[in-house]
Protein backbone atom coordinates (compact mmCIF):
# COMPACT_ATOMS: atom_id res chain seq x y z
CA UNK A 1 0.00 0.00 0.00
CA UNK A 2 1.32 3.44 -0.97
CA UNK A 3 0.36 6.57 0.97
CA UNK A 4 0.91 10.01 -0.58
CA UNK A 5 1.28 11.93 2.68
CA UNK A 6 3.48 11.62 5.75
CA UNK A 7 0.99 13.44 7.96
CA UNK A 8 -2.59 12.79 6.82
CA UNK A 9 -2.50 9.04 7.32
CA UNK A 10 -5.66 7.07 6.58
CA UNK A 11 -6.85 4.25 8.81
CA UNK A 12 -4.52 1.37 8.01
CA UNK A 13 -5.86 -2.13 7.41
CA UNK A 14 -5.52 -4.58 10.29
CA UNK A 15 -3.46 -6.89 8.08
CA UNK A 16 -0.24 -5.33 6.77
CA UNK A 17 0.40 -5.29 3.05
CA UNK A 18 3.25 -7.25 1.50
CA UNK A 19 6.18 -5.15 0.28
CA UNK A 20 8.06 -6.41 -2.76
CA UNK A 21 11.84 -6.75 -3.14
CA UNK A 22 14.00 -6.18 -6.19
CA UNK A 23 15.43 -9.25 -7.91
CA UNK A 24 18.99 -9.43 -9.26
CA UNK A 25 19.41 -12.25 -11.76
CA UNK A 26 21.41 -12.53 -14.98
CA UNK A 27 19.32 -15.46 -16.30
CA UNK A 28 15.84 -14.53 -17.56
CA UNK A 29 13.50 -17.48 -18.14
CA UNK A 30 10.64 -17.68 -20.63
CA UNK A 31 7.87 -19.71 -19.07
CA UNK A 32 4.50 -19.22 -17.44
CA UNK A 33 4.15 -19.00 -13.64
CA UNK A 34 3.40 -22.15 -11.68
CA UNK A 35 1.19 -22.43 -8.60
CA UNK A 36 3.92 -23.82 -6.33
CA UNK A 37 5.91 -20.58 -6.03
CA UNK A 38 9.12 -22.57 -5.83
CA UNK A 39 10.81 -20.07 -8.14
CA UNK A 40 11.96 -17.50 -5.58
CA UNK A 41 14.51 -15.06 -6.95
CA UNK A 42 13.81 -15.88 -10.60
CA UNK A 43 12.86 -13.46 -13.39
CA UNK A 44 10.68 -14.36 -16.35
CA UNK A 45 9.86 -12.71 -19.66
CA UNK A 46 6.59 -13.31 -21.47
CA UNK A 47 7.72 -14.83 -24.75
CA UNK A 48 4.18 -15.63 -25.85
CA UNK A 49 2.25 -13.73 -28.50
CA UNK A 50 -0.52 -12.88 -26.01
CA UNK A 51 -0.82 -11.53 -22.48
CA UNK A 52 -0.39 -13.96 -19.61
CA UNK A 53 -2.12 -13.52 -16.23
CA UNK A 54 -0.35 -13.65 -12.89
CA UNK A 55 -2.54 -15.05 -10.08
CA UNK A 56 -3.91 -12.78 -7.36
CA UNK A 57 -2.01 -12.92 -4.06
CA UNK A 58 -1.31 -10.93 -0.86
CA UNK A 59 -4.41 -8.81 -1.40
CA UNK A 60 -3.33 -7.88 -4.91
CA UNK A 61 -5.55 -8.55 -7.94
CA UNK A 62 -4.44 -10.68 -10.86
CA UNK A 63 -2.00 -8.86 -13.17
CA UNK A 64 -1.62 -9.10 -16.94
CA UNK A 65 1.86 -9.32 -18.46
CA UNK A 66 2.11 -8.13 -22.06
CA UNK A 67 4.37 -9.89 -24.59
CA UNK A 68 8.00 -8.96 -23.92
CA UNK A 69 7.36 -7.70 -20.38
CA UNK A 70 8.96 -9.14 -17.23
CA UNK A 71 7.73 -10.61 -13.96
CA UNK A 72 9.49 -12.08 -10.94
CA UNK A 73 8.85 -14.27 -7.92
CA UNK A 74 9.83 -13.71 -4.26
CA UNK A 75 8.50 -17.05 -2.99
CA UNK A 76 5.13 -15.56 -2.01
CA UNK A 77 3.75 -14.30 -5.30
CA UNK A 78 4.57 -13.42 -8.91
CA UNK A 79 4.63 -9.69 -9.70
CA UNK A 80 5.42 -7.37 -12.63
CA UNK A 81 8.99 -6.03 -12.61
CA UNK A 82 10.94 -3.57 -14.77
CA UNK A 83 14.58 -3.94 -15.71
CA UNK A 84 17.03 -1.16 -14.97
CA UNK A 85 18.72 -0.64 -18.33
CA UNK A 86 22.28 -1.91 -18.48
CA UNK A 87 21.95 -4.06 -15.34
CA UNK A 88 20.69 -7.46 -14.16
CA UNK A 89 18.37 -5.76 -11.65
CA UNK A 90 14.58 -5.96 -11.83
CA UNK A 91 12.37 -3.78 -9.62
CA UNK A 92 8.69 -4.16 -8.61
CA UNK A 93 6.67 -2.06 -11.06
CA UNK A 94 3.92 -1.54 -8.49
CA UNK A 95 6.11 0.90 -6.55
CA UNK A 96 7.24 3.04 -9.50
CA UNK A 97 5.46 6.39 -9.41
CA UNK A 98 5.73 9.45 -11.67
CA UNK A 99 5.82 12.60 -9.55
CA UNK A 100 5.47 15.16 -12.35
CA UNK A 101 6.42 16.06 -15.92
CA UNK A 102 6.97 19.62 -17.11
CA UNK A 103 7.58 20.61 -20.74
CA UNK A 104 9.80 23.56 -21.64
CA UNK A 105 9.13 24.87 -25.14
CA UNK A 106 11.93 26.41 -27.20
CA UNK A 107 10.63 29.94 -26.56
CA UNK A 108 10.71 29.40 -22.78
CA UNK A 109 14.49 28.88 -22.64
CA UNK A 110 16.20 31.61 -24.70
CA UNK A 111 19.97 32.00 -25.01
CA UNK A 112 21.79 32.44 -21.67
CA UNK A 113 18.66 31.54 -19.68
CA UNK A 114 18.85 29.32 -16.57
CA UNK A 115 16.14 26.90 -15.47
CA UNK A 116 16.09 26.03 -11.76
CA UNK A 117 13.83 23.25 -10.52
CA UNK A 118 13.77 21.93 -6.96
CA UNK A 119 11.55 20.12 -4.47
CA UNK A 120 11.69 18.30 -1.15
CA UNK A 121 10.67 14.67 -0.87
CA UNK A 122 9.73 12.97 2.37
CA UNK A 123 9.45 9.22 2.96
CA UNK A 124 8.62 6.87 5.81
CA UNK A 125 7.15 3.42 6.51
CA UNK A 126 4.39 2.24 8.83
CA UNK A 127 3.94 -1.14 10.56
CA UNK A 128 6.89 -2.42 8.53
CA UNK A 129 9.37 -5.20 9.33
CA UNK A 130 12.05 -3.93 6.90
CA UNK A 131 13.92 -0.84 5.83
CA UNK A 132 13.12 0.17 2.26
CA UNK A 133 14.66 2.10 -0.62
CA UNK A 134 13.37 4.34 -3.36
CA UNK A 135 15.46 6.11 -6.00
CA UNK A 136 14.37 9.61 -7.02
CA UNK A 137 15.03 10.04 -10.73
CA UNK A 138 15.03 13.27 -12.74
CA UNK A 139 15.25 12.63 -16.46
CA UNK A 140 15.19 14.78 -19.59
CA UNK A 141 13.22 13.78 -22.65
CA UNK A 142 13.84 15.33 -26.06
CA UNK A 143 10.68 16.12 -28.01
CA UNK A 144 10.17 14.68 -31.47
CA UNK A 145 7.56 15.25 -34.18
CA UNK A 146 6.37 13.43 -37.28
CA UNK A 147 7.63 15.08 -40.46
CA UNK A 148 6.15 12.77 -43.10
CA UNK A 149 4.18 12.67 -45.26
CA UNK A 150 5.12 16.31 -45.78
CA UNK A 151 3.63 18.76 -45.25
CA UNK A 152 2.33 18.00 -41.74
CA UNK A 153 0.85 20.22 -39.02
CA UNK A 154 2.13 20.73 -35.51
CA UNK A 155 2.25 17.39 -33.73
CA UNK A 156 3.86 15.43 -30.90
CA UNK A 157 5.45 12.12 -31.86
CA UNK A 158 6.94 11.40 -28.42
CA UNK A 159 10.08 11.81 -26.33
CA UNK A 160 13.53 10.22 -26.43
CA UNK A 161 14.69 9.79 -22.84
CA UNK A 162 18.29 10.64 -22.00
CA UNK A 163 20.24 8.97 -19.16
CA UNK A 164 19.06 10.25 -15.74
CA UNK A 165 20.30 13.70 -14.73
CA UNK A 166 19.56 12.91 -11.08
CA UNK A 167 19.50 9.45 -9.50
CA UNK A 168 19.22 9.86 -5.74
CA UNK A 169 18.81 6.69 -3.60
CA UNK A 170 16.96 7.15 -0.30
CA UNK A 171 16.84 4.43 2.35
CA UNK A 172 14.09 4.96 4.91
CA UNK A 173 12.23 3.37 7.82
CA UNK A 174 9.62 4.33 10.40
CA UNK A 175 11.09 7.79 11.02
CA UNK A 176 10.14 10.39 8.39
CA UNK A 177 13.07 11.64 6.32
CA UNK A 178 13.09 14.63 3.99
CA UNK A 179 15.60 15.25 1.19
CA UNK A 180 16.08 18.12 -1.26
CA UNK A 181 16.41 17.30 -4.96
CA UNK A 182 16.92 19.68 -7.84
CA UNK A 183 18.19 20.36 -11.33
CA UNK A 184 19.73 23.46 -12.91
CA UNK A 185 19.92 23.81 -16.69
CA UNK A 186 21.77 26.65 -18.44
CA UNK A 187 21.37 27.42 -22.11
CA UNK A 188 24.67 28.61 -23.53
CA UNK A 189 25.21 31.08 -26.36
CA UNK A 190 24.31 29.55 -29.71
CA UNK A 191 27.29 28.59 -31.85
CA UNK A 192 26.80 28.08 -35.59
CA UNK A 193 23.05 27.80 -35.10
CA UNK A 194 23.23 25.10 -32.42
CA UNK A 195 21.85 25.44 -28.89
CA UNK A 196 24.24 24.14 -26.25
CA UNK A 197 23.27 23.32 -22.66
CA UNK A 198 24.97 22.68 -19.33
CA UNK A 199 23.28 21.03 -16.34
CA UNK A 200 23.95 20.51 -12.64
CA UNK A 201 22.14 18.24 -10.20
CA UNK A 202 21.30 18.94 -6.56
CA UNK A 203 21.57 15.83 -4.41
CA UNK A 204 22.35 15.53 -0.69
CA UNK A 205 22.96 19.28 -0.60
CA UNK A 206 25.72 19.40 -3.23
CA UNK A 207 25.77 20.37 -6.90
CA UNK A 208 27.52 18.32 -9.59
CA UNK A 209 27.60 18.22 -13.39
CA UNK A 210 25.00 15.93 -14.95
CA UNK A 211 23.21 15.00 -18.18
CA UNK A 212 22.01 18.12 -20.00
CA UNK A 213 19.48 18.50 -22.82
CA UNK A 214 20.90 17.90 -26.28
CA UNK A 215 18.52 20.33 -27.98
CA UNK A 216 15.92 22.95 -27.11
CA UNK A 217 12.34 21.81 -26.53
CA UNK A 218 12.42 19.17 -23.79
CA UNK A 219 10.51 17.70 -20.86
CA UNK A 220 11.77 17.12 -17.30
CA UNK A 221 10.24 14.07 -15.62
CA UNK A 222 10.53 13.18 -11.93
CA UNK A 223 9.68 9.71 -10.65
CA UNK A 224 10.19 7.26 -7.81
CA UNK A 225 11.74 4.01 -9.03
CA UNK A 226 13.95 1.05 -8.04
CA UNK A 227 12.00 0.14 -4.89
CA UNK A 228 13.67 -2.50 -2.72
CA UNK A 229 13.62 -4.10 0.74
CA UNK A 230 16.22 -5.85 2.91
CA UNK A 231 17.48 -9.22 1.66
CA UNK A 232 17.43 -10.83 5.11
CA UNK A 233 13.69 -10.23 5.55
CA UNK A 234 12.06 -13.18 3.82
CA UNK A 235 8.51 -11.83 3.97
CA UNK A 236 8.71 -8.01 3.90
CA UNK A 237 5.49 -6.24 4.85
CA UNK A 238 4.13 -2.87 5.86
CA UNK A 239 3.04 0.40 4.31
CA UNK A 240 5.20 3.10 2.69
CA UNK A 241 4.44 6.80 2.35
CA UNK A 242 5.91 9.65 0.33
CA UNK A 243 5.14 13.35 0.03
CA UNK A 244 6.49 16.02 -2.31
CA UNK A 245 6.85 19.48 -0.75
CA UNK A 246 8.11 22.97 -1.64
CA UNK A 247 8.21 22.35 -5.38
CA UNK A 248 9.26 25.31 -7.49
CA UNK A 249 10.63 26.13 -10.93
CA UNK A 250 11.96 29.44 -12.23
CA UNK A 251 13.55 30.63 -15.46
CA UNK A 252 15.88 33.60 -15.27
CA UNK A 253 18.28 35.36 -17.58
* Predicted model pTM: 0.89
Both 130 and 236 in one domain: the answer is yes
Q: How far apart are the first and last CA of the chain?
A: 44
Both 101 and 176 in one domain: the answer is yes
Domain boundary among 87, 108, 131: 87
Residue-number span of the structural domain to which 49 is assigned:
26-87
Q: Reply yes or no on whether the pLDDT at 15 is more than 90.
A: no
Both 61 and 111 in one domain: the answer is no
**pLDDT confidence tier of residue 162, bands split at 50, 70 and 90:** very high
Both 177 and 79 in one domain: the answer is no
Q: Reply yes or no on whether the pLDDT at 12 is more than 70.
A: no
pLDDT at 5: 58
Both 49 and 167 in one domain: the answer is no
- pLDDT tens for each residue of 126-149: 889 999 999 999 999 999 999 999
Give the H or E element holding residue 167: strand 166-172
pLDDT at 123: 94
Both 30 and 56 in one domain: the answer is yes
Angle at 21 between CA 78 and CA 247, to 5 degrees: 115
Average pLDDT over residues 172-180: 92
Both 12 and 45 in one domain: the answer is no
Q: Rounded to an integer, what distance in angstroms lies between the CA atom of residue 208 and that of residue 168?
A: 12
Average pLDDT over residues 179-189: 93
Both 106 and 186 in one domain: the answer is yes
Both 131 and 163 in one domain: the answer is yes
Both 45 and 122 in one domain: the answer is no
pLDDT at 155: 93
Structurally, the chain folds into a number of domains equal to: 2
Average pLDDT over residues 152-160: 93
**pLDDT confidence tier of residue 9, bands split at 50, 70 and 90:** low
pLDDT at 189: 80
pLDDT at 92: 98
Q: Rounded to an integer, what distance in angstroms lies between the CA atom of residue 97 and that of residue 30?
A: 27
131 phi and psi angles, rounded to 5 deg: -75, 160
Both 140 and 248 in one domain: the answer is yes
Alpha helices in the chain (DSSP H): none
DSSP state of 32: -
pLDDT at 192: 54
**pLDDT confidence tier of residue 194, bands split at 50, 70 and 90:** low
Both 220 and 105 in one domain: the answer is yes
Amino acid sequence: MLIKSLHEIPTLPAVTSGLLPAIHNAAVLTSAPTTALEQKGLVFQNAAANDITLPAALGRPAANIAPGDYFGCDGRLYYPVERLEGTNSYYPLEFTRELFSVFLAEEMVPQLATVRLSFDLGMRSFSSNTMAQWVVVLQIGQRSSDITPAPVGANLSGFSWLPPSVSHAITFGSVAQQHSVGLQIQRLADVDGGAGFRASSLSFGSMSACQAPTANGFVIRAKLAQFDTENNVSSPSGFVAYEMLNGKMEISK
